[in-house]
Amino acid sequence: MAIFNNYKFNEIIDIDFLQNIQDKFANIVGLSTITVDESGNPVANSSKFSKFCTLIRSSDEGKRRCTLCDAKGGFDAMRQGKPIIYFCHAGLTDLAAPIIVDNNYIGCMLCGQVIVEEFDNKKKMNLNKLSKELNLPKAKLEDALKEVNVWKHKDITESADFLFLFSNFIAKIGISNIINNKLLKETQEKARLEKLLKNTKIKALQSQINPHFLFNTLNTVGRMALIENAPKTESLIYALSDLLRYSIKNSQHLVTIDTEIKNIEKYLYIQHQRFGDRISYEINIDERICNCKIPVMTLQPLVENSIIHGLESKKEGGKVIINGEIFYDKYILLEIIDNGLGMDEVKLKMINFYNNENTSLELGIQNVKDRLLHYFAHECSFFVESTLGSGTKVTMKIPHYFSGEMSCINY
């Protein structure tokens, strides 16, 4: 019998993490995307939704039909055990890929909202009937339909396969999260630290998908973007590919600060494509510390926290600053500063003085703190300063001697 029967979607998958993955997928393939539970109810905000489908869902009856249609699409994909291409209730073409955790269907990723040249979708659409049944002006439906993208069947098929990679990734993350939560509750501090060091999320991807196949797929899509003269899409795909490769390749290693910063720049590039000029960044790293080593993915989760929890809701003027310098010739100071929402004194105290993993923010910070402590023991420090409404500053101190040339410790 499966062990995850009693878990709901939001208990298995971190919704902020899911939203990030979903947004990346929508930006890469250029398709409207949504993730729903087994009943067809959205579990994250929609990504790149079309004007036509947004209008349909503005009607109570339209929203009800969309929910039922999403549920049926996901259920049909689950029964076939693979992604499917189908017509939605309004006549557009959609894709569905099931999310199956330990043989239990918990939901699916859906994308599409397009017209396929070979399908001639408009023959299946009756705007007069749709207008009456949904109580929506026909003229608005016609105008919105004009903006629906037209795709070739070949491109839609390849997008369906790519969607399946992401739904499998999410499913494996769900398993990893559950296993990790059980271990955290059942083991002592030493066992908990060891599990955190294994970087479960990246290992889940490795066990579910052959990394070479994933990278080859990303590179293929990147070349397609180049051929189709879509340089921004091409750059976004390669940046995501580099991020995944970096995480998998170095998941249990120390890396130079310079390497970590280059990885962060790729992450910030992807976020810039999402937020545009709403969020900017500044990196100030003393060249003398570039070869000093830190645990992989030490800075990136903190930068991600700044954006997701601090800056994402700002309409303009969001900024992240990354500083690195030598301190009294013995230490390196690393700072992540943002001018985002900040946090109250209660949450700040919990982060600084207690082990707390109730949210993705706290789990990410605790993970970084634990790994710094593992490698540098009492010679490191980690402290968060924040003012509600003004921003947050994270400061880390590590020994300066820990560099590629000077270290005699073999990890």
In a domain, 308, yes or no: yes
Highest average pLDDT, of 97-106, 143-152, 168-177, comes from: 143-152
Q: Are residues 149 and 284 in the same domain?
A: no
pLDDT of residue 296: 85
Residue at a domain's end among 155, 179, 211: 155
Closest to 106 measured CA to CA, from 78, 81, 65? 78
Closest to 22 measured CA to CA, from 54, 45, 41, 53? 45
CATH, residue 78: 3.30.450.20
Condensed to tens digits (0 to 9), the pLDDT of residues 57-107 reads: 999 999 999 999 999 998 899 888 889 999 999 999 999 998 887 777 888
Residue at a domain's end among 113, 131, 155: 155
Mean pLDDT over 368-380 rounds to 85
pLDDT of residue 132: 95
Q: For the chain, what percent of residues have pLDDT higher than 90? A: 35
In a domain, 218, yes or no: no
Q: Which residues of 192-224 are buried (b: 16+ CB within 10 A; e: fewer)?
A: beeebbebbbbebbeebbeeeebbebbeebbee
Q: Is 106 helix (H, G, I), strand (E, B) or coil?
A: strand
| Residue 112: its H or E element | strand 104-116
Mean pLDDT rounded to a whole number for the chain: 80
In a domain, 222, yes or no: no
Q: At residue 207, does pLDDT exceed 60?
A: no
Condensed to tens digits (0 to 9), the pLDDT of residues 36-61 reads: 988 889 988 999 999 999 999 999 99
Q: Give the tokens for residue 27.
A: 């930006």
In a domain, 255, yes or no: no
Give the domain extent around 327. Answer: 279-411
The residue written with tokens 């930068």 in the block is 303
Q: How many domains does the chain have?
A: 2
In a domain, 117, yes or no: yes
In a domain, 43, yes or no: yes
Spell out the residues 6+ positions from residue 362 whose beta carbon is closer than 8 angstroms to its own.
350, 351, 356
Confidence band for 249, pLDDT divided at 50, 70 and 90:
low
Beta partners for residue 398, in sequence order: 332
Residue at a domain's end among 107, 137, 155: 155
In a domain, 204, yes or no: no
Condensed to tens digits (0 to 9), the pLDDT of residues 273-326 reads: 778 888 899 999 999 999 999 988 889 889 988 988 889 888 888 999 999 999
Of 99-103, 193-197, 203-207, the range with the lowest mean pLDDT is 203-207
pLDDT of residue 322: 96
CATH, residue 397: 3.30.565.10
In a domain, 165, yes or no: no
**Residue 346: exposed, middle, or buried by beta-carbon count in 10 A (0-12, 13-18, 19+)?**
exposed
pTM of the model: 0.45
